[in-house]
Structure 1
Amino acid sequence: MRLLPLVSACLLCFAAAQAATAAPAPSTPATRLDHILLWGRGIDQVTSVMAVKLGFQVRPGRDPDGVANRYIRFSDTSFIELLGITRPNPTFDPGMKEDQQALKGGPGSRTFGFRSSSLDAIHQSLQALHYAVTPFFSGPDSAKPGWRLFAFDRAPLSSNTFFIDYAAGYAPDQFDPANADDYRVTREHPNGARELSSIWLVSGDADADRRQLEKMGYGHAVPVKLAAVGAKGFCVPIGPTALLTLQPDGAGLAQQTMANGGPRILGVSFGVTDLERAQRWVERGYEHKLTSYRGLSGASILAPTQDDLGLSIEFHAMQASDSPCSATNL
């Protein structure tokens, strides 16, 4: 089932984050980054880029109101939700309209989700911190619950976000979530991608996002630089994943992104089983030779996806680490 209509409705009237007030930080032991909402110029365009040029397996979604969605799911239970307009004058909910206005109808992403099995505790803690959290929403229907979420009436971060959890076995891209073979096969990608390791936010003030995350209970930030995109900021561990809060650091993709569209998701990083295989796939797809570099997660390549997707896609070799922001990765 599509998550976007209720997610987007939850994201009404996002504005600058509220000033911090003294209150206990929420406990977040079970939280991780879950997925991003990625708009294409059209659903077939973004599907083609992800499948043909980048080597992901794209799963079907739905198209009830002129905005279609599709899924790319990973072995670590994270995913990407692809979105595209399929007819003139589609029915936008307020969140969709806000995204489209900010993206100027182009490709890109400005919304992502945290996943936690402790939604009630986090919701209560954020209320105690005076964050403008919404009530809970759930779906796909009361007879067969699949997900439960809350968002914010005013954005605490430079990109929109929400907190979500799923009922046992729920998988929106499968007719039979109990089928173990389907579960395994739909998470195997030709490029070898297996995990979402980090989401990169870009704004004019990386420390403002860091402070908000610390207030929300996500501390232990580590200063980082991403020379590949001309950015600097902080790596904030979110369970086994990392949220990077970045700002431009000289000329580069980060500066271009801010100049062309303002704060948004600058990039997403994925762990792959074979980096050379992923590199060959991207080089064939883009007819462009790539140079590997040492990124925050070790040996990495950056696919030239800004024009196609409005964000960067990084692939890195999978590696064991106690923390996604540990000093050994920097």
Structure 2
Amino acid sequence: MRPFVLLSALILTLGVAAPAMPATPSPEPASQLDHVLLWGRDIDQVSAIMAVKLGFQVRPGRAPGGVANRYVRLADRGYIELLGVTRPNPDMDPGMLADQASLKGGPGARSVGVRSSALDQVHALLKGKGLAVTPVFTASANDPDGGGPTKPPRWRLFAFERPPLSSTLFFIDYAPDKTDPASVADDRTARQHPNGARTLSAFWLLSSDADADRKQLERLGFTGALPVRIPQISARGYCIPVGPNGVLALEPDGQGIAADALREGGPQVLGVSIGVADVDAAKRRVERGYEQVLAGYKGVWGDAFLAPTRDDLGMFIEFHALPGTAGSKTCGEFKR
């Protein structure tokens, strides 16, 4: 576990302003999953896997200091940020170096973000609970990942001096989107995918003690955990609702994929769940990308299949039926 890992690899903007003053605490504000930081062996490799084998649209980013980023943006505002080293001896701060040391230069994910529209209230609430939160950092005025200088800053975030979960967690919020017709059209286009992907539904956090992560998430304000099992990877644990999404806090369930992953890589983001408009069509596309037949199953979110991405991406991507459609679930309970 390490502080500030996300401040290096998170969005690659790196320009921060003075810490923001917290607002007066209020009742628990709504939150939802925001994004996962996914390192590839290199930026073109991870982009090609996401686009060619899995059918996502990959959007360009930038490459300051020898570390590039690109984006897979989804209709529910969640996204996957792709990261890759582009040259020898890149400029890396301690957080990036720690991420790469954990991954041993390979692909994978160690950090996830939760978005809250009441960031200052969340910051104050968690600080009041005795959690060692960092100050709130803001994007620089000329943030190159944005559309030029903005007021308020394009993003604001905080992390933890001592991360409470087995994987690194941060909270983030963004300035309102631009509303001119061209920006709205560009944003809509960026979130359309050939595989029909619509939602970032779950982060899969793997550790040796799923209950410890469950308890910490409850301390963070995320309650209502339900026991789950994922036999496809020999894992068990809990599904914890986070707004309309969920976090799967998992541990190995005997020998198998989860046990192997934990032994080889330690605590990690083992996967993400993606809601798609048509599970069968997405499955056929991924089968063609990987040139193999894939098994469907009833997962935590309903009808689903698991893309065989662990060797390529260092984590799994599960595709499932969109919430509210036939055969869908939410955190283990069939929707009524």
Scaled by the length of structure 1, the TM-score of the pair is: 0.89
* 2:80 alignment partner in structure 1: 80
Query: Which stretch of structure 1 is more off in the superposition, 38-47 or 219-228?
Result: 219-228
CA distance in structure 2 between the aligned counterparts of 1:228 and 1:274, rounded to whole angstroms = 21
The one-letter amino acid paired with 1:240 is: P
Q: Which of 202, 215, 219 is residue 215 of structure 1 equivalent to? A: 219
- Report the Cα offset of residue 130 of structure 1: 1.3
Q: Which runs of 5+ in 1 are unaligned?
A: 10-24
- Report the Cα offset of residue 228 of structure 1: 1.1
3-state DSSP of counterpart to 1:179: helix
- Report the Cα offset of residue 277 of structure 1: 1.1
CA distance in structure 1 between the aligned counterparts of 2:329 and 2:55, rounded to whole angstroms = 28
* 2:168 alignment partner in structure 1: 160
The one-letter amino acid paired with 2:88 is: P
3-state DSSP of counterpart to 1:228: helix
Counterparts of residues 16-31 of structure 1 (less than 5 Å):
27-31=27-31
The Cα offsets for residues 232-291 of structure 1, whole Å up to 9 and x where unpaired, read as 000000000000100000122211110111100011000000111111111111111101
- Report the Cα offset of residue 88 of structure 1: 0.2
The Cα offsets for residues 171-203 of structure 1, whole Å up to 9 and x where unpaired, read as 9xxxx8962221111111000000011110000
- Report the Cα offset of residue 110 of structure 1: 0.5
* 2:104 alignment partner in structure 1: 104
Conserved 8 A contact 1:74-1:196 = yes
Conserved 8 A contact 1:237-1:323 = no
- Report the Cα offset of residue 317 of structure 1: 1.2
The one-letter amino acid paired with 2:80 is: I
- Report the Cα offset of residue 121 of structure 1: 1.0
- Report the Cα offset of residue 128 of structure 1: 1.2
- Report the Cα offset of residue 170 of structure 1: 6.3
Asked if 1:52 is matched to 2:52, the reply is yes
* 2:145 alignment partner in structure 1: none
* 2:188 alignment partner in structure 1: 184
- Report the Cα offset of residue 5 of structure 1: 2.8
The Cα offsets for residues 19-52 of structure 1, whole Å up to 9 and x where unpaired, read as xxxxxx9843310110000000000000000000
The one-letter amino acid paired with 2:170 is: F
Indicate how the Cα distance of structure 1 residues 237 and 178 shifts in structure 2: closer, same or farther if over 3 A, else same: farther
The one-letter amino acid paired with 1:99 is: D
Indicate how the Cα distance of structure 1 residues 148 and 170 shifts in structure 2: closer, same or farther if over 3 A, else same: farther
CA distance in structure 1 between the aligned counterparts of 2:182 and 2:103, rounded to whole angstroms = 37
Conserved 8 A contact 1:197-1:324 = no
Counterparts of residues 137-152 of structure 1 (less than 5 Å):
137-141=137-141, 143-144=149-150, 145-152=153-160
3-state DSSP of counterpart to 2:44: helix
Counterparts of residues 55-66 of structure 1 (less than 5 Å):
55-66=55-66
CA distance in structure 1 between the aligned counterparts of 2:27 and 2:170, rounded to whole angstroms = 16
The one-letter amino acid paired with 2:161 is: D
3-state DSSP of counterpart to 1:182: helix
* 2:294 alignment partner in structure 1: 290
Q: Which of 235, 241, 254 is residue 237 of structure 1 equivalent to? A: 241
Q: Which of 5, 8, 30 is residue 8 of structure 2 equivalent to? A: 5
Conserved 8 A contact 1:108-1:265 = yes
Conserved 8 A contact 1:191-1:277 = yes
* 2:333 alignment partner in structure 1: 327
CA distance in structure 1 between the aligned counterparts of 2:237 and 2:36, rounded to whole angstroms = 20
CA distance in structure 2 between the aligned counterparts of 1:63 and 1:217, rounded to whole angstroms = 36
3-state DSSP of counterpart to 1:132: coil
Residues paired across the two proteins, number: 308
- Report the Cα offset of residue 326 of structure 1: 5.0
- Report the Cα offset of residue 140 of structure 1: 3.8
3-state DSSP of counterpart to 1:320: coil
The Cα offsets for residues 197-239 of structure 1, whole Å up to 9 and x where unpaired, read as 1110000000000000111111111011011111000000000
3-state DSSP of counterpart to 1:65: helix
Indicate how the Cα distance of structure 1 residues 8 and 182 shifts in structure 2: closer, same or farther if over 3 A, else same: closer
CA distance in structure 1 between the aligned counterparts of 2:184 and 2:268, rounded to whole angstroms = 36
Indicate how the Cα distance of structure 1 residues 68 and 87 shifts in structure 2: closer, same or farther if over 3 A, else same: same
CA distance in structure 2 between the aligned counterparts of 1:325 and 1:170, rounded to whole angstroms = 33
* 1:246 alignment partner in structure 2: 250
Conserved 8 A contact 2:167-2:269 = yes
CA distance in structure 1 between the aligned counterparts of 2:30 and 2:132, rounded to whole angstroms = 22
Superposition RMSD on alpha carbons, in Å? 2.2
- Report the Cα offset of residue 324 of structure 1: 2.8
CA distance in structure 2 between the aligned counterparts of 1:191 and 1:251, rounded to whole angstroms = 32
CA distance in structure 2 between the aligned counterparts of 1:181 and 1:317, rounded to whole angstroms = 26
- Report the Cα offset of residue 139 of structure 1: 0.8
